[in-house]
Structure 1
Amino acid sequence: MESSSKKQGLLPILSNKNVNIKREIVAGVTTFLTMAYIVAVNPNILSATGMPAGALVTSTCLAAAIACILMGLFANLPFALASGMGLNAFFAFSVVIGMGISWEMALTAVFVEGIIFIFLSLFKVREAVVNSIPMTMKHAVTAGIGIFIAFIGMVGSGLVINDDATLVKMGEFSPTVIIALIGIIIIAVLDKKKVKGSILFGILTSTLLAWGYALISPEAAANLGIYLPEGIFKFESIAPIAGKLDFTHFFTVEGAGKLIVVVCTFLFVDFFDTVGTLVGVASRANMLDENGNVPNAGRALLVDAVSTTLGAVLGVSTVTTYVESSTGVAAGGRTGYTAITTGILFLVAMFFSPIFIAIPSCATAPALIYVGYLMLGAVKYIDFDNITEGVPAFLTISGMALTYSIGDGLTIGILSYVIINLVHNLFCKNKEEKTKVSVVMIILAIVFIIKLALI
């Protein structure tokens, strides 16, 4: 894989041949629309720290745009990046508010995390982890992400809601559920008819239906989280939050102790979320090479690391690869042109944020649910009759959805895979029936055990 990367030169995207640019653009638009919610959600979460929301909108878009374009140019992969959900909540509520750390210090921790990731990527540590995951587990990660994003879509549409007694239950048959179901039907029918851009059509139709409902019954729509765009053009400076890193607390015992804990947490969560996303989406796109490795994985992970560092300088929390990239892949995206398209749309969103902010979750839910269905198809490649492969795969798939975390699901899967197979090998006398477990996987399992013991 390394040799192929060298042959591609500095910009692998230029080595593409016979690319369907129209399909790549549609895929990029599809990816953007399914993750455009971050334009509104990230500022809403991070502003709880005292950071100005207007500046956060611009920084969120700018960091995502640069990251996506870098991914397209230097890794030639259809993966989009932006400030990560979960990581932004940890940044705001656990670090800044919970630990009493200033948002400037928290941004510094994100910056340090990115620098560490850059070194881990340059020394191919992250790439080694990606490539060490067995094919069975890679298929399980794909299927697990499918269940995970479908769950996100169902929650976003109101089809699944919180319940204190049973954790989750089916929601009421509300307008948001109806809009989402209409979107799913449109996507399914158009996809069956081989219509290009079926997922994009589903999102756009659901968005128009939602806005139509808001026009007819604004109060009822507002109660369901549906709003009409509040204008068209809006732009705010990033000056209040850009370049505000604060390294002073690294030189005090108390400050350094807090920041080390924060940096390690950011590192662990982002590391395995990104690994899981790369493996799962690449597998779904049939982009794995003959050895089951993600093409240009080293470049992709380096871009991810650089983007995190750059994002901190711009004033936003950890930038990471988005699982919503799978919607663009399902729409036919296979090259960096998909990511570049998504990046350009984030640049546009900086100036037209009211429109993109107004795209409701019930409109993106159909895409997430349908792509979840497509990704779940990876289970057909898993040998569930072989317990040493089937059980870890099952735990990975179910773990991602039930823990609401790709990283946690991957942790459960790798731990179970290593322990089950090592114990099996210990008592198995037939050498041919023993499963080869890589050293990297064993090291990962040890790291996970230490991590779990320290929680």
Structure 2
Amino acid sequence: MDKFFKLKENNTNMRTEIIAGITTFLTMAYIIAVNPDILSIAGMPKGALVTATCLTAGLTTIFMGLYANLPFGLASGMGLNAFFTFGVVIGLGVSWQTALTAVFIEGIIFIILSLTNVREAVVNTIPLNLKYAVTVGIGLFISFIGFVNSGVVIKNESTMVSMGNFTSPTVIIAAFGLFTMVVFYKRNIKGALLWGIAVSTIAAWIYAIIDPQGAAYYKIFLPEGVFKYESISSIAFKLDFSIFNDPSKIWTLVVVVFTFLFVDFFDTVGTLVGVASKANMIDKEGKVPGAGKALLVDAIGTTVGALLGVSTVTTYVESSAGVAEGGRTGLTSLVTGGLFLLAMFFAPLFVAIPGSATAPALIMVGFFMMENITKIDFSDFSEGIPAFLTIILMPLTYSIGDGLTIGVLSYVIIGLLVGVYDKGKKKVSNVMICLAFIFIIKLIVSGIG
């Protein structure tokens, strides 16, 4: 293990990697329940989706560990699955089989881009200050998710968001887990995030036993058994290319593929940069070692996922939970992926872990990722303003990709203006300029749409 994954070289060990892998899995496990819920609205059988979600996440994450030797977990992306169901199947009125075809085509394009090193060039060209900003922005973003899942932050029609009810069971459960994590970290007990999730889950299940009706209101349920397996035969290899026989619908397919491609590309790039910088995996030149392999794994995962019957697969920001526990190598991914494969047979157990139990882990990880803000040079406005916009817009737009979009755009525009003023002292790379041009087209097309 040490020789293959280079554990000593990365200042880690098997115990740390295993704990990190379990932690990443538990923070991602909600997708086992959420993804089937969303995709089943498109008419796909829910039972088969549970198995396909676990199988795709497991195989792709293990591939990430063995091929790229990086501690990143992958699964069907949130947001992308919603677009699959509500934007494509329901919104455009196409079948889920056709939607899977669009995802498959997107994956093939991704593989081509990855093999030509285009995606890696994009990752490595993003300025160092912007990479640190991505880390901080992702931290705020996932903390926000944690606060929402716990009920601390709720929707408000007048003020967009507001404070939740601190006497609600979900807030109490999350607080219980959060304080457990803080105490365990203070006492240097390994696996603090994992223990916090476990304690919160047990507390939630005890509440469900005492008050089943009240718990149901807060979407807290006891496991409905332990073992269950569903076949994926009803959704696997169901691609439908018949849309190519209708010229009037081909443009629709192109738009759908482009949307999947764009969102997946930049969400993955943002996540990869953010999590890698948190793990101190960025070299002196600001590059992410192994980025090319990681991006190729992501692309292959999307293609295979479409064949197995799920929406776009992407690298998960929750991987930062495992990184916070010390995960630094592919062994973390190997453990995470293995647990996803096991979850195919224990799905009822993992599905019953409520969002309020994983919320404190997301909040804590957000706290850890904030430390990179001290590395950003805010004294230079041409660097500080784009960094600030990236940080603040990721949580406010609820999108890593949108935050990165505005960050890159502002960096290029300000950089070019400053370059003219300072007679070329401020240089912006051609890749960044090309990215900005693509982003402008995307924003215009989105605005027209």
Query: Taking structure 2 as the reference length, what is the TM-score of the superposition?
Result: 0.97
- Offset from partner CA, 1:279-334 (integer Å, 9 cap, x none): 00000000112211111100000000000000000000000000000000001100
Kindly report which structure 2 residues correspond to 1:273-284, keeping only aligned pairs within 5 A, or say none: 273-284=267-278
Say if 2:392 is the partner of 1:392. no
Kindly report which structure 2 residues correspond to 1:213-228, keeping only aligned pairs within 5 A, or say none: 213-228=207-222
Partner of 2:161: 168
Query: Does structure 1 retain, via aligned residues, the 8 Å contact 2:139–2:370?
Result: yes
State how far apart, in whole Å, the 1-side matches of 2:214 and 2:119 are: 48
Say if 2:15 is the partner of 1:16. no
Partner of 2:251: 257
Partner of 1:374: 368
Partner of 2:141: 148
Partner of 2:96: 103
Partner of 1:59: 52
State how far apart, in whole Å, the 2-side matches of 1:254 and 1:276 are: 35
Query: Does structure 2 retain, via aligned residues, the 8 Å contact 1:39–1:353?
Result: yes
Percent identity of equivalent pairs: 64
Match of 1:428 among 419, 422, 441: 422
3-state SS of paired residue (2:91): helix
Say if 2:429 is the partner of 1:438. yes
Query: Does structure 2 retain, via aligned residues, the 8 Å contact 1:12–1:74?
Result: no
How far has the Cα of 1:254 moved from its partner? 1.8
How far has the Cα of 1:451 moved from its partner? 0.9
Partner of 1:233: 227
Match of 2:80 among 61, 71, 87: 87
Residue 447 of structure 1 aligns to which amino acid in structure 2? I
How far has the Cα of 1:188 moved from its partner? 1.3
Residue 157 of structure 2 aligns to which amino acid in structure 1? D
State how far apart, in whole Å, the 2-side matches of 1:408 and 1:333 are: 28
Structure 1: state its 5+ residue gaps: 1-10
Say if 2:219 is the partner of 1:242. no
How far has the Cα of 1:436 moved from its partner? 2.2
Match of 2:26 among 33, 40, 48: 33
How far has the Cα of 1:15 moved from its partner? 5.1
Query: Does structure 1 retain, via aligned residues, the 8 Å contact 2:106–2:257?
Result: yes
- Offset from partner CA, 1:222-281 (integer Å, 9 cap, x none): 101110001000000000000000111123212211111100000000000000000000
How far has the Cα of 1:13 moved from its partner? 7.8
Match of 2:202 among 194, 199, 208: 208
Residue 33 of structure 1 aligns to which amino acid in structure 2? L
Residue 298 of structure 1 aligns to which amino acid in structure 2? G
Partner of 1:117: 110
State how far apart, in whole Å, the 2-side matches of 1:362 and 1:295 are: 35
Partner of 1:4: none
Query: Taking structure 1 as the reference length, what is the TM-score of the superposition?
Result: 0.96
Say if 2:323 is the partner of 1:329. yes
3-state SS of paired residue (1:99): coil
- Offset from partner CA, 1:159-195 (integer Å, 9 cap, x none): 0010111110011111110111121111112112221
Residue 316 of structure 1 aligns to which amino acid in structure 2? V
Query: Does structure 1 retain, via aligned residues, the 8 Å contact 2:5–2:330?
Result: no
Partner of 1:451: 442
State how far apart, in whole Å, the 2-side matches of 1:43 and 1:395 are: 34
State how far apart, in whole Å, the 2-side matches of 1:436 and 1:208 are: 55
How many pairs were matched up? 442
3-state SS of paired residue (2:158): coil
How far has the Cα of 1:435 moved from its partner? 2.3
Query: Does structure 2 retain, via aligned residues, the 8 Å contact 1:12–1:73?
Result: no
State how far apart, in whole Å, the 2-side matches of 1:93 and 1:450 are: 23
Query: Does structure 1 retain, via aligned residues, the 8 Å contact 2:5–2:329?
Result: no
4+ residue stretches of structure 1 with deviation over 2 A?
Answer: none
